[in-house]
Amino acid sequence: MKTLVDYMNDPSVVNEPMPLREVHAIRLMIYDETKDMTPAERTAYYNRSLIEAQEKYGFKVASSAKRA
């Protein structure tokens, strides 16, 4: 599995300024992790990531009402 440093050295992002380079590298990393997932698996992945961020950083996420 590629690391963030590997993604930051990817030819498609290497010429970007450092802050954008990091953002694009993270985007590529998430894409590679989720590209072969079904929609249900992808939803579960993002829900797990949200719960981890809530626990780590103490975020409060407002629930949204489901639209009919």
pLDDT digits (tens, 9 = 90+) for 5-34: 999 999 989 899 999 999 999 999 999 999
**pLDDT number for residue 65:** 65
| Ordered DSSP codes for 24-35 | HHHHHHHHHHHT
Task: Give the domain ranges of the chain.
Answer: 4-57
The residue type of 55 is E
Q: How far apart are CA 39 and CA 15, in angstroms?
A: 33
**pLDDT number for residue 57:** 92
pTM over 0.75: no
